[in-house]
Amino acid sequence: MKNYIKAGEWSIIEEGFDPHHHQVSESIFSLGNGRMGQRANFEEAYSGQSLLGNYVAGVYYPDKTRVGWWKNGYPEYFAKVLNAANWTTIDVNIDGEQLDLAKCEVSSFRRELNMKDGYLKRNFRAKTTSGKEVEVEAIRFCSMVDDEATAIKYTITPINFSGTITLTPAIDGDVVNKDSNYDEKFWDEISKANQPDGGYIVMRTKKTGFEVATGMRFIILQNDKPLQVNAQSIGKEKYVASKIEVQVLQGQSISIIKYVANLSSQNHKAEELVSELNKTLKQISQKGFDTMLAEQAAAWAKKWQHNDIIIEGDISAQQAIRFNIFQLNQTYTGEDDRLNIGPKGFTGEKYGGSTYWDTEAYCVPFYLATADQKVTRNLLLYRYKQLGKAIENAALLDFKNGAALYPMVTMDGTECHNEWEITFEEIHRNGAIAYAIFNYVRYTADEAYLTDYGLEVLIAISRFWSQRITWSQDKQQYVMLGVTGPNEYENNINNNWYTSTLATWCMDYTMQVIEKVKAADKAKYDALTARISFDEATETSRFKHIIEKMYLPYDTDQQVFLQQDGYLDKEQILVKDLPATDRPLNQKWSWDRILRSCYIKQADVLQGIYFFEDRYDIETIRRNFDFYEPRTVHESSLSPCVHAILAAKLGDEERAYEFYLRTSRLDLDDYNNDTEDGCHITSMAGTWMSVVEGFGGMRVRDGKLLFNPFIPEKWTSLSFHIGFQGALLNIKVSKDGVQLKNLSDKQTTLVVYGKEQTLNANSELLVKS
């Protein structure tokens, strides 16, 4: 664990330059706007260790899977969001010496991610090998208003000399992906051009044929006034730049403002990319940097009005929750139902930037409560539009009759995960997609979604479950063989309790939705069943029989649900008894040793209890929590949040707070020694859940919000906003009770500490604890 980020309620701050932290900081200080994003690479040259990353949403490459053998149904490629043209580059030369912090003496350094206003600022003082000293200030942002645009203002001041400073702003398309399986470069140049005040490159991805036009315009300022310059054009393959020499006096600042736009053929006709690019560059450069920055602050202020969480009395907890919310908001805006949320967002390449089940299990609750209803609806539509591919995926594994297996990893609906034990066995992802439909409808009351889209998905998923089980003559029950649960430190196991529980729930929920849709619109129901050849009587009869006869492992001695058959055959050494030198297991132990151990990567049984807590009394939850948590190493970013929520439900303040800090500061403090690969974006939604569902005790029951909150001893108060079925509420929890504010024109009814409360439009109410 690292602890170099300074505390700040609205800022992430790094003071002093340590090259050993640089790649971690490149992840933490990343920027994005839902349409594109980039790691916090330096503008000037840096010859030290760095992971360059600039990403355009939805643009990917099918990198051939690197295995020496194939199985039927095995994915042919692993889809990757590509490192796109590097637009941040501003090379700086000082009287012929390149400014490079890996080679300079750095006497001061400060980097700040301003989360309130949405920009990154960096200040440093450096001395070259010849002794020339400069101060630099760099400010940049990805515009939330003009979401294909970005801007940088880079200011350099000579401290102890007068001379020539050469600035070379560039667009560099000759980039690589660190995780390329065969060291292949994924882009071809289509066209490029230099212009008096900028230039552009149009690149096309190999195989997939996406085209991205990246262009820049720049202006030079001296003492904050425009300076006429003669720029020397530089052009080579996949590269355009302009070289500008400026004579400077000691103490005299010069600035370059670099306006950049990235336009994709996903959103524009390929033949119109250059003309549209030039229009965008003209528009933003005419606005000017200061206007764009002010618009950025206003856009972020609007977002914070709806999803800020205020924690008084604990600056570390406050900084962490805002950092998580900030990253979520700049990763996904919900404006485009073709896009989804990659586990690393725009902060790194790991996991390919593709879509996992994380979206449905963890991100959906956040967007339901903090964004317009259409945002979550678009996440569901993303899966609905890929249903055909999910049916194809299942057919490749020999499933019939329109059964659907949604991919573990995807960009376009095709399965592209390249580990067999995940691709074939981690089938619980199907259940998470069904649960997201349930969660969405429960929260929004948008039952029309079920009629128009949801039921078709649910039937296809239930058809898969009804074929995936096996009848055991020995048990006289249905069993689920050869699966991997959420705990990926187990592979090819039988009767994972979570997977089997989720499967039976899916079939039961599907039958409930059938009745709702029939009652709401029988004509649409009949049209659907005819189109997909659904025999309701026969197929639901099988669903019912499976539900009734499903084998769910249980240990009568411990009185806990067994994670899978044979789990108690493992040597039961608790995590607290492991030597610290053995952690993390995935970096210290062989895979064979991990698979033979009892250790749990992330919530597995407890994930099921979290989803279906209404089924279990408090003592059942407590027994399972107390049994499984001590065996859990939390080496998945998705693990601490579920444990925080359940610990809060059990009134275990100490552990709830411990897990909250772990999930919220996972990247800021680099808990798992892997933040250099990128931030854990989807688990950040789990951080929000830890606060709102954990300490806030929020649940949805019978169309009403329920709150049963408490706050850790260290906190003075906790405040958050919730959007619910047209009402916008502010909930403030203190030691005295709960202050409820209705910030909308809609009356709402909610339950606080078990008592129903009516909250009139634009009113407030104090409920004593």
**DSSP at 459:** H
Do the beta carbons of residue 757 and residue 740 sit within 8 Å?
yes
Q: CB under 8 Å to 73, separation ≥6 — which residues?
A: 393, 396, 397, 398, 423, 424
As a whole number of angstroms, the distance between CA 506 and CA 467 comes to: 13
As a whole number of angstroms, the distance between CA 554 and CA 567 comes to: 11
Q: Is 427 helix (H, G, I), strand (E, B) or coil?
A: coil
As a whole number of angstroms, the distance between CA 388 and CA 460 comes to: 10
Residue 229 CA: distances (Å) to CA of 155, 221, 246: 16, 10, 8
Please name the amino acid found at residue 478.
Y
Task: Choose the catalytic residue: 133, 360, 425, 488.
Answer: 488
Assigned token pair, 541: 């009869």
Assigned token pair, 642: 């579920």
Q: Is 474 helix (H, G, I), strand (E, B) or coil?
A: coil
Instruction: Report the interhelical angle of 429-444 vs 455-468 (nearest 10°).
Output: 150
Q: E strands within 104-180? A: 105-114, 119-127, 133-142, 149-158, 163-172
Residue whose C-alpha is closest to residue 63's, from 179, 203, 202, 211: 179
Q: What share of the chain is helix, strand, coil (3-state, %, to 5)?
A: 35, 25, 40
Query: Per the omega criterion (within 30 degrees of 0), is the bond before 630 cis?
Result: no
The partner residues of 163 in beta bridges, in order of sequence, read 248
Per-residue exposure over 20-38, b if at least 16 CB sit within 10 Å of its own CB, e if not: ebbbbbbbbbbbbbbbbbb
Residue whose C-alpha is closest to residue 350's, from 679, 663, 584, 590: 679
As a whole number of angstroms, the distance between CA 681 and CA 733 comes to: 27
Assigned token pair, 184: 């292949």
User: Whats the size of the chain, residue-wise?
Assistant: 769
Per-residue exposure over 234-271, b if at least 16 CB sit within 10 Å of its own CB, e if not: eeeebbbbbbbebebeeeebbbbbbbbbbbbbbbbeee
CA atoms within 13 A of residue 476's CA, in its CB half-sphere: 0
Assigned token pair, 422: 């995940």
**DSSP at 4:** -
Rg (CA), the chain: 27
Do the beta carbons of residue 748 and residue 730 sit within 8 Å?
no
Residue whose C-alpha is closest to residue 380's, from 490, 298, 456: 456
Diameter over CA atoms, the chain:
89
Residue whose C-alpha is closest to residue 502's, from 485, 489, 487, 515: 485
Residue whose C-alpha is closest to residue 99's, from 171, 44, 152, 47: 44
Whether 237 is a known active-site residue: answer no
Instruction: Report how far Cα 655 is from the mean position of its chain's Cα atoms.
Output: 25
As a whole number of angstroms, the distance between CA 259 and CA 691 comes to: 38
Residue whose C-alpha is closest to residue 63's, from 331, 406, 411, 385: 411
**DSSP at 503:** H
Residue whose C-alpha is closest to residue 109's, from 21, 17, 181: 17
Rounded to 5 degrees, φ, ψ at 434 are -65, -40
Burial class (CB in 10 A: 0-12, 13-18, 19+), 552: middle
Active site residues: 488
